[in-house]
């Protein structure tokens, strides 16, 4: 007969959902957990997340997964083999290179492009938009006119111009895409800032003597993050396509890099008789774009800034 | 006094992430052609009760009752078409803030006309006439001018009077008013209340007045139901409020600061857990 | 008694709307001054102008004899004057824990021993330490307002500006918060400038009142005068009568 003299230790879930968090960490993790639960209730969103996790894993373990080299092909005996051929699951291209291996290694390039653009463009847009929105007046006017200038150009055309000026290559393609991607983020950040600026809690922080810089960076920007994250995720699909477009035009990744867009470009010639050379990378782009779109939609629902209760 | 509305064991439940939450837990009352006040604080279930009678609870809410009948019609088993025809024509509801309850993109006159034509087969001209009559009945001095105005162009008090006009134009027998004056200034509140009072008395309507303001309700209504945690804890005549028996009612009555009464500190409600059972 | 808050002929204009028109009030140290009026009377604007949140178009404002210029306020001002807002949800940052929000004023002013001060502040407003790491949406309206009061008091100001601090709260919670405010004022010997549309609240909490309408001060009187009906202006009298509740002139229907 045992007498329970102490309460059983909390399960991890109880600890996260506790309404008396004992530390800032517990409170943050609890909140993140609630967001995760909201997100995972949406099955399609989880599918999107899984697709992207698969992409990351494939890129990370490319060396172990890829059956052949992506750069060196069997020119003599394995040119333009159809999918399902012996040893070449997705077929080969005109230089005898295994398409599957090229896709696998190409995932690294895709990830790199997407990550770099997000890292460069999103913070720039966030800062420009939040500062413009909070400052108002001529600062707002100047920053927004600059934003408008960048927005006025069609994305691909502007990227083309930059790449033409900087020279072809995947790094320059990334810079070009990043330069054209930040304006919508600035707009979003500014819109959120305008809403938030007049709220009582910002007035309260001003009344504590906080400097405008402190208010913008520590109090206003966190409120812009949700909308921004959703928008960036949804944009990733478009960024991949823009990079692919640049690659297609020969201005992005240069041969022999297995960038998916460039693969489509070089496979274009064979599309009638050897459809797989261009189609396989196209399907890969489709799946990854879909993944980002599903993830973005799911994030939008889960990160609802007007969450009213747990 | 025959019962216009009979409510027996009304329950409203909501599914939440942590299980079912009962907002209304077994409310029963009968209403004749009288003024009944339902008083409670936030979370008491008073608004949900009013909305359940109207059939305006959100779709995920589950409304059950032993009896919920209006003039003999069982509201729970009535088909949606019948409920829709009752709404506006025989049972009407006034909400709190005309800024949010009036359609912002339609002129006031047009909204009233639309309500009328929805329920009665009248020509456009006749509908307009009746709408203007109604605006005059709520003591709007220049009905023709206000007819063409948009909700954002009028003050809170006038918007609320327009809302009353819109809800009463089809001549309902039962009016549910959910915090009709809470968003208004205190002098405007009294004007609106006296208009409401006059119209309800003239037309022999039944009125359910839902509010958080116990004193206001007791000065306006004949009978008062006090709700706490989804239940009615006390039912009494408005004039009898000073002799309230339930400690919650007494506490609620005493905790308001009153001009002239010098009580420092104010008596505070000592919430007993058994009230919520 | 010297006036610690002194406003003289203050005007505030937003675009072409005159929110305040030549308003003057005087609040003595340790006193509790009420601004009463209906919506649009300018009472909240006056409070915000003192706080530096609304642009003055004319007139002067003085705190402890020092003149305030426009919207500029220095850190010394913020350590002396703090504000409690009306909407309990709107006045707390939705994405920050209570702990973080109470820490912020301390961090801005470089105050050490934040840990002790936060615990003391929560204790003073009747919230246990279990509330420390919650987010605002996990708190009820009354609890949020207590946090707002704790935040206002954490820098130990001498003047508290209160903008309808209990209007958005249930009646029973309002009583608790009003009692808390009274106690805090007694314990810390604070000066209150309180805005309210509710005459009952304002006569309960304040010694002297200014009744405002349409951006002007209509009458100045003591709470006592108001309660006993020694009123000069009709507008004030109307407000008094209206506060007493609904009076029916006809017989109730049976």
For the stretch C36-63, pLDDT in tens is 998 889 999 999 999 999 999 999 999 9
- pLDDT at C196 > cutoff 70: yes
pLDDT at C71: 85
pLDDT at A309: 36
DSSP symbol at A10: P
As its CATH architecture, domain B1-90+210-277 has 3-Layer(aba) Sandwich (3.40)
In a domain, A101, yes or no: no
Give yes or no for a contact between C209 and C34, defined as CB atoms under 8 angstroms apart: yes
pLDDT tens track for B102-128: 999 999 999 999 999 988 889 999 999
**Chain B contact probe: residue of C37, C246, C252 with most B CBs at under 10 A:** C246
- Pair of tokens at residue A65: 């997964």
CA distance C113 to chain B (A): 33
Going along chain C from its start, the domains and CATH numbers come out as 30-52+73-243 (3.40.50.300)
Residue indicated by tokens 């463009």: A121
Sorting pLDDT into bands at 50, 70 and 90, what band is C253? very low
Question: Which residues fall within 8 angstroms of residue C110, CB to CB, at 6 or more apart?
Answer: none
**Chain A contact probe: residue of C82, C83, C95 with most A CBs at under 10 A:** C95
Q: CA–CA distance from B43 to each of A112, C140, C206 (Å)?
A: 52, 11, 31
In a domain, A97, yes or no: no
Question: Which residues fall within 8 angstroms of residue C95, CB to CB, at 6 or more apart?
Answer: A222, A223, C135
Q: What is the mean pLDDT of residues B145-174?
A: 90
- Pair of tokens at residue C109: 């002013």
Give yes or no for a contact between B102 and B108, defined as CB atoms under 8 angstroms apart: yes
In a domain, A72, yes or no: no
- Pair of tokens at residue C208: 């002297």
In a domain, A200, yes or no: yes
pLDDT tens track for B22-51: 999 999 999 999 999 999 998 899 999 999
Sorting pLDDT into bands at 50, 70 and 90, what band is B205? very high
Sorting pLDDT into bands at 50, 70 and 90, what band is B1? very low
Q: Which chains touch C (3 or more CB pairs under 8 A)?
A: A, B
CB atoms near residue B151 (< 10 Å): 21
A interface residues, C as partner, C-beta within 8 Å: 19-24, 26-27, 31, 199-201, 203-210, 214, 219, 222-223, 305, 307-310
Q: What is the mean pLDDT of residues B87-116?
A: 90
In a domain, A212, yes or no: yes
* Residue in B33, B193, B258 nearest the CB of C200: B258
* Residue in A203, A209, A214 nearest the CB of C78: A209
CB atoms near residue B71 (< 10 Å): 15
pLDDT at C243: 85
Looking at B91-240, list the stretches that DSSP marks H as alpha helix, in order from N- to C-terminal side. 98-101, 108-119, 124-137, 143-147, 156-168, 186-203, 214-220
In a domain, A28, yes or no: no
Query: Do A210 and C104 lie within an 8 Å CB cutoff?
Result: yes
Lowest-pLDDT choice from A27-36, B28-37, C142-151, C157-166? A27-36
Q: What secondary structure, in 3-state letters, does A126-140 show?
A: HHHHHHHHHHCHHHH
pLDDT at C127: 92
Give, in degrees to the nearest 5, the angle at Cα B249 between C177 and C195: 30
- Pair of tokens at residue C88: 């309990």
Domain ranges across chain B: 1-90+210-277
Domain count, chain A: 1
pLDDT at A264: 87
Percent of all residues in chain B with a pLDDT value above 70, rounded to a whole number = 99
The dihedral sign for the CA sequence C89, C95, C99, C105: negative
CA distance C179 to chain B (A): 6
Give the domain CATH number at A216: 1.10.3720.10
How far is C-alpha B254 from the chain's CA centre?
24
Residue indicated by tokens 């204790």: C123
Residues facing B7 on adjacent strands = B29, B68
CA atoms within 13 A on the CB side of A194: 11
pLDDT at A8: 65
The domain containing residue A129 runs over which residues? 106-302
Question: Which residues fall within 8 angstroms of residue A207, CB to CB, at 6 or more apart?
Answer: C51, C52, C53, C78, C82, C83
Query: Do B216 and C240 lie within an 8 Å CB cutoff?
Result: no
Sorting pLDDT into bands at 50, 70 and 90, what band is C153? very high
Tell me which residue of B145, B109, B113 sits closest to B127, measured CA to CA: B113
* Residue in C38, C170, C248 nearest the CB of B187: C38
Output the average pLDDT for chain B: 90
Give yes or no for a contact between A174 and C63, defined as CB atoms under 8 angstroms apart: no
Residue indicated by tokens 């006809």: C250
Peptide bond into C150 cis (omega under 30): no
Would you tell me the crossing angle of helices A221-248 and A155-166 to the nearest 10 degrees? 70
CA distance C152 to chain A (A): 9
CA distance A72 to chain C (A): 53
Question: Which residues fall within 8 angstroms of residue A33, CB to CB, at 6 or more apart?
Answer: A13, A16, A17
Within 8 A of B256 by CB-CB distance, chain C residues are 171, 174-175, 200
pLDDT at B46: 93
- Pair of tokens at residue C110: 């470089």
- Pair of tokens at residue B235: 């039912």
Distance CA A146, CA A148 (A): 5
pLDDT at A310: 31
Whole-complex ipTM: 0.89
- pLDDT at C254 > cutoff 80: no
- Pair of tokens at residue C156: 């130990």
Low-confidence ranges of chain A (pLDDT < 50): 1-2, 4, 305-310
The dihedral sign for the CA sequence C116, C122, C125, C128: negative
Give yes or no for a contact between C179 and B51, defined as CB atoms under 8 angstroms apart: no
Q: Taking every pair of C-alpha atoms in chain B, what is the biggest distance, in angstroms?
A: 62
- Pair of tokens at residue A85: 């051929």
């Amino acid at each position: 007969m045992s007498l329970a003299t102490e309460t059983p230790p909390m399960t991890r879930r109880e600890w996260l959902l506790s309404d008396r968090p004992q530390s800032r960490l517990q409170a943050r993790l609890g909140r993140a957990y609630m967001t995760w639960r909201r997100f995972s209730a949406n099955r399609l969103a989880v599918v999107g997340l899984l697709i992207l996790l698969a992409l990351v894993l494939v890129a990370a373990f490319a060396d172990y997964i890829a059956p052949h080299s992506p750069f060196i092909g069997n020119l003599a005996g394995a040119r333009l083999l159809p999918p399902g051929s012996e040893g070449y699951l997705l077929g080969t291209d005109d230089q005898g290179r295994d398409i599957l291996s090229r896709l696998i290694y190409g995932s690294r390039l895709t990830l790199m492009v997407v990550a770099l653009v997000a890292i460069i463009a999103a913070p720039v847009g966030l800062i420009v938009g939040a500062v413009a929105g909070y400052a108002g007046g001529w600062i707002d006017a100047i920053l927004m006119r600059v934003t408008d200038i960048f927005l006025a150009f069609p994305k691909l055309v502007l990227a083309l111009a930059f790449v033409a000026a900087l020279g072809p290559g995947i790094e320059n393609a990334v810079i070009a895409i990043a330069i054209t991607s930040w304006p919508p983020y600035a707009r979003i950040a500014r819109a959120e800032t305008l809403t938030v600026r007049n709220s009582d809690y910002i007035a309260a922080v001003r009344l504590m003597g906080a400097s405008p810089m402190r208010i913008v960076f520590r109090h206003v920007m966190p409120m812009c993050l949700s909308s921004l994250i959703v928008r960036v995720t949804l944009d990733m699909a478009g960024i991949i396509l823009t990079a692919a477009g640049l690659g297609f035009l020969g201005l992005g990744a240069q041969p022999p890099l297995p960038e998916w867009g460039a693969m489509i470009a070089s496979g274009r010639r064979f599309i009638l008789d050897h459809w797989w050379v261009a189609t396989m990378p196209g399907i890969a782009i489709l799946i990854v774009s879909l993944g980002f779109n599903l993830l973005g939609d799911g994030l939008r629902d889960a990160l609802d800034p007007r969450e009213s209760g747990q | 006094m025959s019962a216009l509305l009979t409510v027996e064991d009304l329950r409203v439940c909501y599914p939440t992430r942590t299980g079912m939450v009962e907002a209304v837990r077994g409310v029963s009352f009968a209403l004749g052609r009288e003024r009944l006040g339902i008083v409670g604080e936030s979370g008491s279930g008073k608004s949900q009760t009013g909305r359940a009678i109207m059939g305006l609870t959100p779709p995920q809410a589950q409304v059950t009752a032993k009896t919920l009948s209006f003039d003999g019609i069982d509201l729970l088993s009535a088909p949606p078409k019948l409920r829709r025809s009752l709404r506006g024509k025989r049972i009407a509801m006034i909400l709190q803030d005309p800024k949010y309850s009036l359609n912002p993109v339609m002129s006031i006159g047009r909204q009233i006309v639309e309500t009328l034509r929805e329920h009665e087969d009248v020509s456009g001209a006749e509908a307009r006439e009746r709408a203007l009559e109604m605006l005059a009945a709520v003591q709007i001095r220049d009905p023709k001018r206000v007819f063409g105005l948009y909700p954002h162009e009028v003050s809170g008090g006038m918007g609320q009077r327009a809302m009353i006009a819109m809800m009463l134009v089809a001549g309902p027998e039962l009016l549910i008013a959910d915090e009709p004056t809470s968003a208004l200034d205190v002098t405007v509140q009294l004007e609106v209340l006296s208009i409401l009072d006059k119209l309800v008395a003239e037309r022999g309507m039944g009125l359910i007045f839902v509010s958080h303001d116990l004193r206001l309700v007791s000065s306006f209504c004949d009978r008062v139901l006090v709700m706490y945690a989804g239940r009615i804890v006390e039912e009494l005549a408005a004039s009898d409020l000073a002799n309230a028996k339930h400690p919650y009612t007494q506490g609620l009555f005493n905790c308001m600061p009153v001009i002239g009464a010098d009580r420092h500190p104010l008596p505070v409600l000592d919430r007993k857990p058994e009230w919520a059972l | 008694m010297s006036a610690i808050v002194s406003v003289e002929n203050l005007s505030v204009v937003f675009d072409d709307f005159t929110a305040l028109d030549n308003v003057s009030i005087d609040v003595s140290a340790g006193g509790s001054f009420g601004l009463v009026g209906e919506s649009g009377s300018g009472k909240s604007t006056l409070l915000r102008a003192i706080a530096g949140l609304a642009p003055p178009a004319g007139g002067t404002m003085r705190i402890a004899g020092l003149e305030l210029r426009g919207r500029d306020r220095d850190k010394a001002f913020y350590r002396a004057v703090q504000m409690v807002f009306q909407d309990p949800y709107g006045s707390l940052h939705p994405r920050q824990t209570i702990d973080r929000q109470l820490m912020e004023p301390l961090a801005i002013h470089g105050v050490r021993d934040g840990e002790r001060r936060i615990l003391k502040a929560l204790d003073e407003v009747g919230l246990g330490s279990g509330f420390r790491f919650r987010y605002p949406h996990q708190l009820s309206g009354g609890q949020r307002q207590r946090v707002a009061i704790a935040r206002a008091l954490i820098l130990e100001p001498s003047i508290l500006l209160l903008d309808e601090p209990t209007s958005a709260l249930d009646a029973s919670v309002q009583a608790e918060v009003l009692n808390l405010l009274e106690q805090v004022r007694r314990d810390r010997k604070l000066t209150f400038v309180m805005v309210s549309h509710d005459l009952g609240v304002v006569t309960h909490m304040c010694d002297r009142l200014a009744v405002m309408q349409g951006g002007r001060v209509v009458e100045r009187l003591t709470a006592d005068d108001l309660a006993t009906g020694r009123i000069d202006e009709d507008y004030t009298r109307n407000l008094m009568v209206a506060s007493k509740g609904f009076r029916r002139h006809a017989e109730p229907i049976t």
